[in-house]
Amino acid sequence: MRGQRSLLLGPARLCLRLLLLLGYRRRCPPLFQGLVQRWRYGKVCLHSLLYNSFGGSDTAVDAAFEPVYWLVDNVIRWFGVVFVVLVIVLTGSVVAIAYLCVLPLILQTYSVPRLCWHFFYSHWNLTLIVFHYYQAITTPPGYPPQGRNDIATVSICKKCIYPKSARTHHCSICNRCVLKMDHHCRILFLALLPEASPTNFYSSFISSVALALGALTVWHAVLISRGETSIERHINRKERRRLQAKGRVFRNPYNYGCLDNWKVFLGVDTGRHWLTRVLLPSSHLPHGNGMSWDPPPWVAAQSASVMAV
């Protein structure tokens, strides 16, 4: 590695020495001064990529694509505001069409029991949509504390240069670490009232949105059932392949079982919470503190067997 590096840097060093012989500080033109400064900056960057065993092709690719990442992050940050406005306008237009166009029609054609059912269900659904979407865009996702604490950390964030607890990842759009991060998204809890548009354009548009959100809902339902986030899905897949090559089996340390995973996700601790926290609007806090996690039953069983031995 050192021989290849010296082979690549040899011609560049020769040019640099020639520039220095011309008198870099006093007699060298400003153009040459800029070239020398850029050369020194590039040399520092190259050494920072190759100074230890953790550097490699992935690190070099990340550094090369850093301007692209910066551009995408800043564009997506502004897209969040556009998407929030779009959701509000779209939901408001659907509700307006439902009241102005659909409601007079169903008052003339539906029976009284069916009318009462549609009236109750649609307004219950609309209340949950508005409440949950407002909670989603105004509630902070949760950030690790910046001061000293007794929470165990698992790594150091390369962006924040600060200790990270388990399941914490850096969000490049928020520009800080987020507890149990899944992904950055501003279109949360977006749902549309069914049968609310009399025009072909609105019907096709709502159908496409419903199809996309339906696929996203199914995907996240699978992740919730497994006790994984979108980021942990990729991490666990790599870890599963690595252990499989060694003849070992990977088990997700945050998988409590399908039903218990959904209880943790929904914040259900008692049977009454299925009504007060799931079927009705609720601003309850999520399960746990986001920094420490209880071990699943299979970990506790293994620990008990080891202690018995």
DSSP 8-state assignment for residue 174: T
In a domain, 216, yes or no: no
Q: What is the mean pLDDT of residues 155-174?
A: 83
At 163, give phi and psi (nearest 5°). Answer: -60, 140
Which residue, among 258, 255, 259, has the nearest Cα to 296 in the 3D structure? 255
**pLDDT confidence of residue 303:** 52
Q: Is the same domain home to 86 and 137?
A: yes
Give 206 or 219, the one with higher predicted confidence: 219
Q: Is the same domain home to 87 and 191?
A: yes
Q: What is the mean pLDDT of residues 244-269?
A: 89
Q: Is the same domain home to 194 and 86?
A: yes
Q: Is the same domain home to 119 and 20?
A: no
In a domain, 281, yes or no: no
pLDDT band for position 301 (cuts 50, 70, 90):
low
DSSP 8-state assignment for residue 226: H
Q: Is the same domain home to 114 and 194?
A: yes
Q: In the annotation, is 185 catalytic?
A: yes
**pLDDT confidence of residue 191:** 31
In a domain, 47, yes or no: yes
In a domain, 249, yes or no: no
Measured in whole angstroms, the distance separating CA 56 from the mean position of its chain's CA atoms is 26
H-helix or E-strand spanning residue 163: strand 163-164
Which residue, among 93, 109, 118, 127, has the nearest Cα to 197 in the 3D structure? 93
Quote the percentage of the chain above a pLDDT of 70: 71
Q: Is the same domain home to 38 and 108?
A: no
Of the candidates 15, 41, 63, which is a domain's last residue?
A: 63
Q: Is 157 helix (H, G, I), strand (E, B) or coil?
A: coil
**pLDDT confidence of residue 225:** 92
In a domain, 95, yes or no: yes
Domain that holds residue 174: 146-180
Q: Greatest CA separation found in the chain?
A: 96
In a domain, 154, yes or no: yes
| Given 15, 45, 116, 185, the catalytic residue | 185
Contact 268, 278 (CB under 8 A): yes
Q: Angle formed by the axes of helices 66-97 and 200-226, to 10°?
A: 120
- The CA distances from residue 46 to 100, 154, 210, in Å, are 65, 28, 48
Contact 19, 35 (CB under 8 A): yes
Of the candidates 10, 34, 63, which is a domain's last residue?
A: 63
**pLDDT confidence of residue 28:** 56
Give 193 or 263, the one with higher predicted confidence: 263
**pLDDT digits 0-9 by tens, 3-62:** 544 555 566 666 656 555 555 445 556 666 777 788 888 877 777 666 555 555 666 677
**pLDDT confidence of residue 12:** 60
* Interstrand relation of 155-156 and 163-164 (parallel, antiparallel or unpaired): antiparallel
**pLDDT digits 0-9 by tens, 88-143:** 888 888 889 888 888 888 888 888 898 899 889 888 988 988 898 888 888 888 88
Would the pTM count as exceeding 0.75? no
pLDDT band for position 284 (cuts 50, 70, 90):
confident
In a domain, 176, yes or no: yes
Q: Is the same domain home to 54 and 118?
A: no
At 111, give phi and psi (nearest 5°). Answer: -75, 170
In a domain, 23, yes or no: yes
Task: Provide the number of structural domains found in the chain.
Answer: 3
Q: Is the same domain home to 73 and 192?
A: yes
Residue corresponding to tokens 């159908």: 207
Q: Is the same domain home to 135 and 166?
A: no
